[in-house]
Amino acid sequence: MSTPYVLMGLLAGGPKHGYDLKRAHDARLPRAKPLAFGQVYATLGRLARDGLVTPAGQDQDAGPERTSYTLTDTGHAALTTWLATVEPPLPHLTSVLLAKVVVALLVTDISQARGYLVAQRAAHTTRLRELTALKTDPDATLSDVIAADYGIAHLDADLRWLQTTLARVADLHKEIAR
């Protein structure tokens, strides 16, 4: 679901071939399922059809492996919108959250990454407070409490991870910029 945006994020640093994109994707998101080449080219095809990326470079007619792609202005705008959109703070969003943070760090504008992380943290804390209120309600049943605990534990884990990530952000950004 976030694959198109991860590819666009990788292209934000400059044009790349499909092969380079696959390798960069797998390196950046080592815990995600490795991308199949077919999926890379299919995704690039859809992105190109929608005007978000465009083929670039002299290899244009040499077949998909040799074609390099570049992010269009529309693509940049779509990426910015995606990055600015806070994920609904529910459990099981970890992979989207991870992808977003990684892409936020790829994008050269660091204040955008910062803005996203701050907004995401605020959404998580608000939800955590709501779930806590829910379980401390005098009318809460045991199942309410257990379900709320489940959500709280996951949100807390995400929050601690976001916190650690922020502490690493400066270093990561330096590394990506190299």
Partner 1 sequence: MSILHARGVVRAFGHTPALRGVTLAIAEGEIVAVTGPSGCGKSTLLHCLAGILRPDAGEVIYRDHRIDTLSEGGRSRLRRTEFGVLFQFGQLVSELTAAENVALPLLLAGTGRRAARTAALSWLDRLGVADLADQRPGEMSGGQQQRCALARALVTEPRVLFCDEPTGALDSLTGEQVLSHLVRVARQQGTTVLLATHDARVAGYADREIALRDGQVDPSGFGVEAAIR
Binding stretches for partner 1 (CB under 8 A): 110, 113-114, 117-118, 121-122, 125, 128-129, 131-132, 136, 152, 155-156, 159-160, 162-163, 166-167, 169-170, 173
Nearest CB to partner 1, comparing residues 69 and 116? 116
Tell me how far, at minimum, the Cβ of 133 lies from partner 1, in Å.
8
Nearest CB to partner 1, comparing residues 44 and 113? 113
Answer yes or no: are the C-beta atoms of 42 and 105 closer than 8 Å: no
Tell me how far, at minimum, the Cβ of 135 lies from partner 1, in Å.
9
Nearest CB to partner 1, comparing residues 50 and 109? 109
Tell me how far, at minimum, the Cβ of 157 lies from partner 1, in Å.
10
Cα dihedral 103/100/105/128 (nearest 10) = 180
DSSP codes of every residue in 33-68: PPPPHHHHHHHHHHHHHTTSEEEESTTTTS-GGG-E
Cα separation, 135 vs 63, whole angstroms: 58
Tell me how far, at minimum, the Cβ of 109 lies from partner 1, in Å.
11
CB atoms within 10 A of CB 151: 19
Q: 3-state DSSP: the chain helix, strand, coil percent, rounded to 5?
A: 70, 5, 25
Nearest CB to partner 1, comparing residues 56 and 162? 162
89-123: burial string, b at 16+ Cβ within 10 Å, e else: beeeeeeebbbbbbbbbbbeeeeebeebbeebbee
Nearest CB to partner 1, comparing residues 65 and 149? 149
Tell me how far, at minimum, the Cβ of 165 lies from partner 1, in Å.
9
- Under DSSP, the state recorded for 1 is -
